[in-house]
Amino acid sequence: MAARTLLLLLATLWMPVLVGQDQTTALVNEARQIATSLHERLIEHMKEVLHKEGTVQAVEICHIDAPDIVNEANRDGWTVRRTSLKVRNLEDAPDKWETKVLEEFARRDAAEDSDDELEHWAVVEEKGRPVFRYMRSIHLSKTCTRCHGRHIDKQVARQLDSLYPFDQATGYEAGDLRGAYSLSRPLAPTSAGAGSK
């Protein structure tokens, strides 16, 4: 934890020169809030559907509802998505920047052997424009392994197979790093910087 706090401190000390501390802090806070409420919304929906419909039906409902719930999180210029190094929905495949961050998360996750949330943010240039990008790790709980685990019920596996013939998102255990929320927001020109926690 101390190392994380130090990193955050270094990031916030370094970034003011480039972006402006207030702007960075505001962007990170906003991104955190959006990721947290999206996470809560997804978990709440998943629990409700699993409870009411059972796992097989829940796969189909997730298939239809999850992309909508994620899209609904887009607001105030932010674009929000989920991504992973092993995707179920091919539309969630990471871009180059996301791949690097996910690889770094995987390395840090293995080194720290904990399911604490990992974060990374940076201002990157995209098509000649500065864009603030933020990612936060997603770890699996036991419930998630019903559809992402090693031993998936046969009917559930069949349902997954029919909807996602290229599914890579199985074989996980509770506590494993599954992927990340990835948020981005275009900025006014002349911004730059990066940080991790």
Which residues of this chain interact with ligand HEC, rule CB under 6 A? 43, 46, 55, 58-59, 62-63, 66-67, 82, 84, 87-89, 92, 138, 140-141, 143-144, 146-148, 169, 178-179
Q: Which is nearer to ligand HEC, 24 or 145 (CB)?
A: 145
H or E element in which residue 129 lies: strand 129-139
Q: Which is nearer to ligand HEC, 136 or 197 (CB)?
A: 136
Structure-block tokens of residue 182: 């990835």
Q: Which is nearer to ligand HEC, 1 or 64 (CB)?
A: 64
- The SS3 of residue 191 is coil
* Closest CB 121 distance from ligand HEC, rounded Å: 19
Contact 38, 65 (CB under 8 A): no
* Closest CB 95 distance from ligand HEC, rounded Å: 14
User: Greatest CA separation found in the chain?
Assistant: 56
Residues 93, 95, 100, 104, CA torsion sign: negative
* Closest CB 71 distance from ligand HEC, rounded Å: 10
* Closest CB 155 distance from ligand HEC, rounded Å: 12
* Closest CB 88 distance from ligand HEC, rounded Å: 4
Q: Which residue of this chain has its Cβ atom nearest to ligand HEC in the complex?
A: 144
Q: Which is nearer to ligand HEC, 16 or 41 (CB)?
A: 41
CA neighbor of 166 nearest in space, from 63, 90, 76: 90
Cα separation, 61 vs 147, whole angstroms:
13
Contact 152, 146 (CB under 8 A): yes
Q: Which is nearer to ligand HEC, 4 or 63 (CB)?
A: 63
Contact 121, 27 (CB under 8 A): yes
Q: Which is nearer to ligand HEC, 59 or 80 (CB)?
A: 59
* Closest CB 18 distance from ligand HEC, rounded Å: 31
Cα separation, 180 vs 136, whole angstroms:
5
